[in-house]
Structure 1
């Protein structure tokens, strides 16, 4: 991360990119010039407040406003006007019918509650009425595992934001999901290893396309990994939205990620092997900074352990969310946040930046895409992959 931040800062200084590009270029976010805004005519406060009142309260307020204007401004000097004003105020101050809204019917209250928690309601129904019966009658675990994952994630997203920084939804949902899989497997006398194998047996969409007549059934992990590939493609939407900024900063994105790709492939395996890590796991460390959808094929090209790269890759993303921005603040890095975090923490930190800084998220998504694509490309060349294997 320090290397990526310093290289990005140096390239920005060399290429004279000093001023920050506007954060957005969407037409709907451009403020309307002052000279073309309609001028609001002056109205008394009591007239302006009428637009903020419910319709049931508007009639007595209008009477009070009209009486105060006509009686107080036009006939203030005559005794008849004073008597009329007192009479009018007395009439207005008389008790009015209650304008409190009627309570909603119970059916409408239930409808509002279900609409607000529609996803939770649907997946709870799948878990209770489909997943559990299918699991205990047929032994097929995909419906109960999939609904369990979604329900746990929805619950983890309800953690207050001030605690979510430490109790990240990925950590919370992963921990509770593994415990749930363990409990379900133990209820049938199976081990945790058996339950995890049933969770992801490897029958994803690529396997089904390659084996159209197979009788193997996918697990919940296979469905989620298939959705992961689609979500990576969906990151092209913010990239297209900020395409002008991406073209302008293309060299700033390309050069650091190309250097990091080459450095990771040759440095991580040799260092990990030197400190006693097994060869397969050492090779997996070469793809630790890449998004999981691209890290898996890169690790397979090198002959590394895909389980290790999955664990280390997710861990790198979580550490980037928890510590990345603080580390950049400590390093006094004011520019290149998206490039630095995207090349080290991939899709998890990109999802965070989509909520805080969409422009940085676009730079982060392109940065992690270039890093992953370059790594997969280099590991697909047999002479290069063979040299990397010789290091361990």
Structure 2
């Protein structure tokens, strides 16, 4: 991450393509126009409607007249008129009280609660009336595992923002899902490996649509279903890239050069370092795709004949750790806040889709560069691992 940040920053300084975010982010808020209301002259119809609306509001704000007083409540003799003090300070109990709207009906309150939690209630009902019966009756675990996974993510998303620095929703939901499905597996006499294999059998729905193993064989699990959706979500990240395509053209060198150099350097350095540290050869090869998103990391590791389980855990942890400490590390490296190019390229190349999703909420312009950076980094890695001579050289680094 340090090498990526300084390399991208240096390329910007050399090409003189640095820009201030105050000017560029102002374009995200809309077109430049005069915001002073006094400089805008309203139309005749608009002024007429405004005056009519103002008179209507003034009429609605008029207070109701006080109630008429009974003759017996007037102080003094009946022939004497009321004094000035009594006219100016009438009895508060005789004045009209301000009306308070009645509280909403109980059915409306329940309807609001259900509408706000319709997704959670839907998956909870599917879990109770579909997932559990199918799991214990038919022996198929996909509906149960999918509902457990989705409900665990909803619960993890409710964690306060101050705690998410240490309890990231991805880690919490993954841990809660693994524990819950393991408990259900024990109820049916299964161990953890069998339960995890049912969660992800390796048969995606795209393969079912193409007719692969559609008749008989293993059925897809919840992990396979979510993996299919993950492929579509990676394509959806092209939307911010299209929105900020002008910035991508202006900073082309600052995006392409670091990703090409880092992808090649990672392929030849990470497996060798892991192998020297005592990690097995197959697991060492999985670290070659450590910084890739899972949709691109799995094909790259398959080309290298590495361990699939290792790359799944390492790729997710790399994204989560980068999202947690990436912004703080860039601040520690004295990277300016308005340098969205360095921040986008650094987080995208090292933390893939998790950091990109974080930037979509904080800095959409940096998220566009992060999407392109992680896609380019992954495409180069998959391309190089598809070349047999290069694959043989990388495997020779770990003794294979």
Residue 93 of structure 1, CA deviation: 9.7
Q: Secondary structure at the match of 1:349?
A: helix
What residue in structure 1 maps to residue 310 of structure 2?
308
What residue in structure 1 maps to residue 100 of structure 2?
100
Residue 174 of structure 1, CA deviation: 0.7
Runs of 4+, deviation exceeding 4 Å: 53-57, 85-94
Alignment of 1:102-141 (within 5 A): 102-141=102-141
Alignment of 1:278-289 (within 5 A): 278-289=280-291
Q: For 1:254, which of 246, 253, 256 is the aligned residue?
A: 256
| In structure 1, distance between residues paired with 2:322 and 2:58 | 52
Deviations 1:107-144 (A, max 9, x none): 11111110111111111111111111111111111111
| In structure 2, distance between residues paired with 1:56 and 1:258 | 70
Decide whether the 8 Å contact of 1:320 with 1:344 is kept in 2. Answer: yes
Alignment of 1:24-173 (within 5 A): 25-26=27-28, 29-34=30-35, 37-38=39-40, 58-60=61-63, 95-173=95-173
Q: Secondary structure at the match of 2:207?
A: helix
> Cα distance 1:98–1:35, how it changes in 2: closer, same or farther (>3 A)?
closer
What residue in structure 2 maps to residue 192 of structure 1?
192
What residue in structure 1 maps to residue 293 of structure 2?
291
Alignment of 1:371-382 (within 5 A): 371-382=377-388
| In structure 1, distance between residues paired with 2:221 and 2:228 | 11
TM value normalised by structure 2: 0.84
CA RMSD of aligned residues (A): 2.8
TM value normalised by structure 1: 0.86
- Structure 2: segments with no counterpart, 5+ residues: 43-50, 67-83
Alignment of 1:212-291 (within 5 A): 213-215=214-216, 216-291=218-293
| In structure 2, distance between residues paired with 1:179 and 1:55 | 63
| In structure 2, distance between residues paired with 1:55 and 1:168 | 52
Deviations 1:294-338 (A, max 9, x none): 011011011111111111111111111111111111111122111
1:356 lines up with 2:362 in the alignment: yes
Residue 31 of structure 1, CA deviation: 5.0
What residue in structure 1 maps to residue 72 of structure 2?
none
Q: Secondary structure at the match of 1:60?
A: coil
> Cα distance 1:237–1:86, how it changes in 2: closer, same or farther (>3 A)?
farther
Q: Secondary structure at the match of 1:34?
A: coil
What residue in structure 2 maps to residue 343 of structure 1?
349
